[in-house]
């Protein structure tokens, strides 16, 4: 749904509630749910985002009325809802373990379009909740795009091929090789790819497979470093932790660009396309 003024504007209302309507009623039922764990998440442009763990309560505000019902989802004041604006996209999701995820997304942002696609939401989103149950047969393949969106939400994707990936990565002895070596390794460990038949699909398949390999290897390397801790004789090594965190983020950003270059080059070579890598045009590389 789209957020209304009474839900986000403290001057208009201080109720801290989402009106249940039929959409939330279909999701949550008629039984009262008190102090359910909920993660509030606000997402904007340029990777902007904050999260806050809190609680929500689902109740009938007219419980004592003989004929009328009016269900509402109460939330506590938190930084996420303080950033929310009128017409921002609101998604209320309930996990199988009864934990809630309250997602607020800036209107018209890229991540809004991505979430609408991910949750298969079509048509105009209005001020009333639209209910959509995700059935098992609706599950979409977790490719590079889906993985990126889920990571923006702070959701870690479990990798079903983890054992196979671990066996493949043993050759690197827990250290990242050069990007060109890793990209070549990715192409050589996935079968059935013929770039001459479908260059676009080959490029996507190679990138997605390398992403899986990279994230699995990164998990092992980062976990080992975290287990070793950031403790110096003088106390906590804050600078060391910050430096390590930045190195992880920078590696992710730079690696994907290099990987794309390597795989595009492999497609060009396979299809006998002449090219000049990092050519100078208009005095720029």
Statement to judge: residues 135 and 195 lie in one domain: no
Statement to judge: residues 211 and 250 lie in one domain: yes
The confidence score (pLDDT) of residue 152 equals: 59
Q: Among 117, 146, 175, identify where a domain stops.
A: 146
Give pLDDT tens digits for 86-110.
999 999 988 878 889 899 998 888 8
Cα–Cα distance, 28 to 21 (Å, whole number)? 11
Q: What is the pLDDT of residue 269?
A: 94
226 Cα distance to chain centroid:
23
Q: Cα(185)–Cα(182) distance, rounded to whole angstroms?
A: 5
Residue 211, phi-psi category: left (phi > 0), alpha (psi -120 to 50), beta (remainder)? alpha
Q: Rounded CA gap, 121 and 103, in Å?
A: 14
Check whether 247 has a pLDDT greater than 70: yes
Per-residue pLDDT reduced to its tens digit, 138-187: 556 655 556 666 765 666 666 667 788 888 888 898 889 999 999 999 99
Range of the domain at 44: 5-146
The band of 53, judged by pLDDT with boundaries at 50, 70 and 90, is very high
- Per the model's pLDDT, the better-predicted residue between 92 and 114 turns out to be 92
> What integer is the mean pLDDT of 57-63?
89
pLDDT in tens, 70-91: 888 999 989 999 999 999 999 9
Say if residue 112 is in the same domain as residue 193.
no
Mean pLDDT, to the nearest integer, of 191-218? Answer: 91
In angstroms, rounded to a whole number, what is the distance separating the alpha carbons of residues 165 and 182?
Answer: 13
What is the total count of domains within the chain? 2
């Amino acid at each position: 749904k789209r957020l209304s003024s009474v839900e986000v504007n403290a001057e208009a209302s201080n109720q801290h509630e989402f009106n249940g309507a039929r959409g939330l009623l279909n999701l949550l039922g008629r039984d009262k749910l008190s102090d359910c764990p909920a993660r509030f998440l606000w997402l904007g442009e340029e990777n902007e985002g904050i999260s806050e763990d809190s609680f929500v309560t689902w109740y009938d505000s007219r419980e004592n009325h003989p004929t009328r019902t009016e269900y509402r989802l109460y939330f506590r004041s938190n930084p996420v809802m303080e950033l929310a604006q009128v017409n921002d996209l609101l998604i209320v999701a309930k996990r199988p373990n009864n934990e809630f995820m309250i997602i607020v997304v800036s209107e018209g942002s890229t991540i809004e379009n991505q979430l609408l696609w991910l949750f298969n939401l079509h048509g105009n989103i209005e001020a009333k909740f639209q209910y959509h149950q995700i059935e098992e047969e609706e599950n979409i393949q977790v490719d590079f795009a889906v993985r990126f969106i889920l990571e923006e939400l702070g959701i870690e994707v479990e990798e079903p091929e983890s054992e196979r990936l671990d066996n493949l990565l043993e050759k690197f002895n827990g250290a990242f090789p050069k990007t060109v070596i890793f990209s070549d390794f990715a192409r050589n460990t996935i079968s059935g790819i013929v770039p001459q038949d479908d260059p676009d699909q080959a490029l996507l398949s190679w990138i997605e497979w390398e992403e899986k390999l990279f994230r699995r290897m990164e998990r092992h390397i980062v976990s080992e470093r975290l287990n070793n801790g950031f403790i110096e004789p003088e106390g906590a090594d804050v600078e060391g932790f910050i430096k390590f965190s930045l190195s992880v983020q920078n590696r992710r950003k730079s690696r994907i660009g290099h990987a794309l270059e390597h795989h595009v080059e492999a497609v060009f070579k396979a299809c006998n396309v002449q090219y000049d890598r990092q050519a100078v045009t208009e005095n720029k590389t």
